[in-house]
Structure 1
Amino acid sequence: MSSRNEILSLLREEEAFLSGQELSRRLGLSRAAVWKAVDALRREGYEIEARTGLGYRLAAAPDALTEPEIRSFLGETAVVGRELRCFGELDSTNNYLKTWADAPDGTVATADSQTAGRGRMDRSFQSPKGKGIYLSVLLRPPLPPDRLPPVTALAGVSVCAAVERVCGVRPGLKWPNDPVLCGKKLCGILTEMSLEAETGRVQSLVLGIGINVGQGPEDFSPEVREVATSLLQALGRPVSRPRLAAALLEELDRAYAALLAGDLSAYRAAYRRDCVNLGKTVQLIPFGGGERETAQAVDVDGDFSLVVRDAEGRERTVRSGEVSVRGLWGYTE
C-alpha cells in the first residue's frame, strides 16, 4: 500500500486529529513524506484540516470512483472486486477488460467517464465525467454457455438491490435488463461473452453496467432525455457514487455465487416482483425490422425470457435477442 493510501486509511479511522509526528511514527515515514502525501490527497479532492499543535483530520472525501474510496465502503467479497482497477477515462470499461487476456476471475474496471460507452445492439451509452458509475466485471465461470443467459437478469436484480440499500428506494426492471425509476431508464447493462473456437468452452464473460447517478437533463442528448433519468433527478438529492459502486460489487458477488451454485430461485422471484411489464400490454419490436406486435406480458420463465399472450389468448415465449419491449404509450407504460 502506498504512503498516500496508508495515511488516508489512518485518517479515516480517526475522528480526532492525528499529528504529523504520530503519522510518521505509525507508518515509518519522514515528516516531509507525510506532508507530500497529505498534499497529494488534497489535490485529489480530499478535504484535510490541518491545525497547529493538533495535526491533520479528514473533513470530507470526494465523490470519486477511485480504489480507496470504493474500498472504504466495500465489505468482503468472494470473487468480484478482489482485483479492482479505477481510471479517470476509458473508451469503454468492457473494452479494457476484453483486452486483458490474463485478468483473474472477478476483476473489476471502473471509469469516471467513457468516450465510447456501448449498450445493446451497439447503441451509444452516454457517460459524462463525474456523473455516473461506469464499471465492468470480468467473469470466468466454469459453466457451459447454456447456463449463462440469466447473467444479465441477475445483474439487473443486483442493481436494484444495491440502489435500494444505498438510496432506500428500489427501481423496477423493464424486461429484459433495464432498471427504471419514475418510468425512465436508470441504468444500462451489456454482457459480452468469449468462447474458445475449438471446444466452445467459455473463456470469459464481461458484464458492463452504467448507472446514471448525478446527471441533470442537460447531460443527456435530446433523444435520450425522453427515456432516461438519474438518481439525482428521481430522488432530488445527491448519492455517493463510491458507496453505490461498492454495494453493487457486493450484490454482484452474491449473484455470481448463486449462478455457480445453480440456485437462482431467489433471483427469479425478485425479478418477477421487480418487472414493471408483467400484467401490462406491451409492444414487441423485432430486431432487424418487421411489424410491431401488441401483447399482454404475463410471466417471466425460468430462463428470464418473457411469456406473452396475444389477442387470441395464445401464449408464447420471447427472448431478449429477438425483440425489444416498450410500453403501449411510452418507455414502460
Structure 2
Amino acid sequence: MAWSILRCDEVDSTNNVCKTLAAQGADNTAVIARRQTAGKGRLGRSFRSPEGGLYLSVLWRGCPTGQLLTVTPLAAVAVCHAIEQTCGAVCGIKWCNDVVLDGKKLCGILTESSLRPDGGAEWLVVGIGVNVAQTAFPPDIADMAASLAMQGYSVSPDALAEVLLEQLTAMRQALPHPQAWREEYRRRCVNLGRPVQVLRGDASRQAMALDVDQQFGLTVRYENGETETVRSGEVSVRGLYGYIE
C-alpha cells in the first residue's frame, strides 16, 4: 500500500486538509506540512506548530469498527519505531497517546473520523506532530516540551516522515492482530507502576496506574483500594512523574 503524499509549506492543520480531501473522495493520502497555523490537540487544545517540527496526517477509508480504538495508541508505537530507526532515541508513551523523551512531551497524536451508521469509519485521519529541530519553546511549555534536537538527536523532518509513513503502513497491516504491538505499547507506557491523577470534570483522584487492557484503557487503583479502567474519551490522566497534559 502506497501513500499519495501532499507536501505543504503552511496549512492551518494537516488534519483539516485531510478531512477536506476525504470529502472529495480521497483515500490512502498523507499530508505533510512545515508549519501549521492552527494545529490541534486532544480535548480542543491547540498544538504549537512552528517550522522545525514534523506535522503529518494520514487519511484512509474502511477501518473496521473493532479496530478504531487501537489506531491512536498503535500510531504512538509507530512514532517510537520511526524515531529510533532514524536517530536512535528511545521513547516512551504517556497514556494514552503522547510520545515522551526524557520525561517531556515530544509528540502528540490526534485521530478524527467520520462514522457510518454501523459504527465503522467511513474515513479515518491520524494527525501526528513531532518536535524535531526546535531549539526553544515558549515559557509556558518549556518545562514540559522536548525536541529531538534539544535532547541531542539529529534527524530532518523529511527523513523522519519517510520512515514514519513506512511504520504507519506496518501499523495498518497489524491492526487485525495487534498483539505484538499492544505488548510493546505496554512496555513503553511510562505511567505503569506510577502515581497518576484521574481528572473527571473538576474532580481529581489520586491513583496508581496498574495496566493497559485489550482496548488500551488504563486500569488504576485508587487510594481506597477501588480499581477502575479509564478511557481516554471519559477522563484525562495527569502524571505526577513529569510533564502534565
> CA RMSD for the aligned pairs?
1.5
Q: CA contact under 8 A between 2:194 and 2:241: conserved in structure 1? A: no
| Equivalent residue in structure 1 for 2:162, among 246, 249, 260 | 246
1:213 maps to 132
Name the CA shift for 1:142/1:125 in 2 (closer, same or farther; >3 Å).
Answer: closer
Aligned length: 243
Q: Who is 1:85 aligned against?
A: 6
Equivalent position of 1:302 in the other structure: 214
Q: What is the Cα deviation at residue 142 of structure 1?
A: 4.4
- 1:159 and 2:79 correspond: yes
Aligned partner (choices 218, 228, 233) of residue 145 of structure 2: 228
Is 1:94 aligned to 2:15, yes or no? yes
Query: Structure 1 residues 311, 158: CA separation in 2 closer, same or farther (over 3 Å shift)?
Result: same
Letter in 2 for 1:110: I
The aligned counterpart of 1:20 is none
- 2:84 and 2:239 mapped to 1: Cα distance? 24
CA offsets per residue over residues 228-255 of structure 1, 9 Å max, x none?
11000112x4312211111110111000
CA–CA distance in 1 between the matches of 2:144 and 2:155? 21
Q: Residues of 1 paired with 2:62 and 2:74: CA distance?
A: 14
Q: Specify the code of the residue in structure 1 equivalent to 2:205.
A: E
Question: Where do 4+ consecutive residues of structure 1 move more than 4 Å?
Answer: 198-201
Q: Which amino acid aligns with 1:135?
A: L
Deviations 1:137-194 (A, max 9, x none): 00213412x4301110011000001101111122100000000011100001000011
TM-score by length of 1: 0.70
- Report what 1:106 is aligned to: 28
Judge conservation of contact 2:103–2:241 (CA < 8 Å) in 1.
Answer: no
Shift of 1:199: 4.9
Could you tell me how far apart the structure 1 residues matched to 2:235 and 2:55 are?
26
Could you say which residue in structure 1 is the equivalent of 2:199?
A: 285
Alpha-carbon distance between aligned partners in 2 of 1:285 and 1:182, rounded to the nearest angstrom: 24
TM-score w.r.t. the length of structure 2 is: 0.94
SS in 1 for 2:146: coil
Question: Residue by residue, what CA displacement relative to the aligned partner does 1:77-127 show, whole Å, maximum 9, x if unpaired?
Answer: x24x2x001011111110011011244432100111111111111111111
**Given the alignment of the two structures, is residue 316 of structure 1 paired with residue 228 of structure 2, yes or no?**
yes
1:189-200 alignment, distance < 5 Å: 189-196=109-116, 198-200=117-119
The structure richer in helix per residue is 1
Unmatched 5+ stretches in structure 1: 1-77
Q: Distance in 2 between matches of 1:224 and 1:136?
A: 23
SS at match of 1:136: strand
| 2:189 equivalent among 251, 275, 289 | 275
Q: What is the percent sequence identity of the aligned residues?
A: 50
| Runs (5+) with no aligned partner, structure 2 | none
Cα separation, 1, equivalents of 2:106 and 2:121:
30
